[in-house]
């Protein structure tokens, strides 16, 4: 069972800053010749497979180096979670940029727990308290280097 959501985000594109205006919508991305880099087997690939039919999908097996591959020009754009875009645009400031202010979809992040209703209720209460006090938001901002 999943707990209540502790973070809400969604899929959004990231590209080299010099080319970000070329990729500000799905229609702009889904064109022949546009290379969309993706790690195989995850939610990013599922999103690309479900929403892009004309762009070229570039599989990149090593998720640790995928953003460097984008920087190096092995692809034009990547569609990933907004929270990851926030981190990567900070780590590669002036090189990688978000290409649009809104997400393509809505996704919630939550904790996966064993099927144990009293435990899930306890964790839900804890998540709610951490959200109400702003502790989770501050922890995420600190992790992203935004504090």
**Tokens at 98, concatenated:** 């978000």
pLDDT for the residue 113: 97
Specify the pTM. Answer: 0.88
Q: Could you tell me the mean pLDDT of each successive run of 10 residues in the chain, 147 residues long?
A: 95 97 96 98 96 98 96 98 95 96 95 96 97 93 85
Domain ranges of the chain: 10-102
What are the b/e assignments for 49-75, b being 16+ CB within 10 Å?
eeebeebeebebeeeeebbeebeeeeb
Q: Which helix (H) or strand (E) holds 43?
A: helix 43-51
**Sheet hosting strand 11-16, strand order edge to edge:** 56-59, 35-38, 77-81, 11-16, 96-98
Residue 125 in tokens: 């209460």
CATH 3.30.70.100 describes domain 10-102: no
Backbone φ and ψ for 9, nearest 5 degrees, come out as -150, -145
Per-residue pLDDT at 147? 72
């Amino acid at each position: 069972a999943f707990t209540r959501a502790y973070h809400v985000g969604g899929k959004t594109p990231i590209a080299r800053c010099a080319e970000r205006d070329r990729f500000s919508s799905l229609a702009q991305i889904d064109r022949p010749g546009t290379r969309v880099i993706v790690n195989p087997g995850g939610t990013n690939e599922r999103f690309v497979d479900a929403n892009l039919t004309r762009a070229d999908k570039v599989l990149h097996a090593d998720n640790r180096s995928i953003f460097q591959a984008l920087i190096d020009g092995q692809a034009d754009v990547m569609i990933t979670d907004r929270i990851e875009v926030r981190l990567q645009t900070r780590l590669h400031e002036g090189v990688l940029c978000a290409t649009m202010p809104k997400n393509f979809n809505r996704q919630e992040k939550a904790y996966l727990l064993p099927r144990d209703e009293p435990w899930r209720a306890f964790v839900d209460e804890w998540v709610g308290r951490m959200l109400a006090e702003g502790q989770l938001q501050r922890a995420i901002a600190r992790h992203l280097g935004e504090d």
